Amino acid sequence: MRWLQRWWPALLWAVVISVFSTGVFTSDNTSRFIIPILRWFSPHASQETLFFMHHFIRKTGHFTEYFILSLLILRGIRAGKRGAHLAWALAAIAIVACYAALDEYHQSFVPDRTAAVADVLLDTAGGIAAQVVVALMMLLGDIRKKRRDNTPRAA
């Protein structure tokens, strides 16, 4: 059951993503509450601008969902080990891309939803971005550690 301890966050998040892919979260349904909020923040915005902002928010959601999924998958793959390996990042990205494709395929069966290759690419970009952020954070951590180790200490 140790694998479940490492993987439950990623599995739970995958379920959350699947819920977002249901008919409840169609563009028409989300516009019913997002557009009024946007109108409240921007009362003089045109209807076209509000719809564009709604679309942008939805696409940002795709990116963000899979950014988070990628981090959680990396957590499962690492299994508590320190350090970073390119293979771990590539595996996380591959799993994200496969899940994104599966999710879009699922949407093709949901009324009022459509499958879009562009969404798979956007989702995968979110997964890649997460791995790049992790790599940069680890690189910065290594640089800071080297600076601390090379700093002369007072006697």
In a domain, 40, yes or no: yes
User: Which pLDDT belongs to residue 128?
Assistant: 98
In a domain, 155, yes or no: no
Amino acid at 70: S
Residue 152 has pLDDT above 80, yes or no: no
In a domain, 84, yes or no: yes
Residue 155 has pLDDT above 60, yes or no: no
| Domain around 92 | 2-150
- Based on the structure, what is the number of domains in the chain? 1
| Lookup: tokens for 8 | 């439950």
In a domain, 47, yes or no: yes
In a domain, 56, yes or no: yes
Residue 5 has pLDDT above 90, yes or no: no
Residue 79 has pLDDT above 70, yes or no: yes
One-letter-per-residue 3-state SS of 79-119: CCCCCCCHHHHHHHHHHHHHHHHHHHHHHCCCCCCCCCHHH
**Lowest-pLDDT range of 27-36, 38-47, 110-119:** 27-36
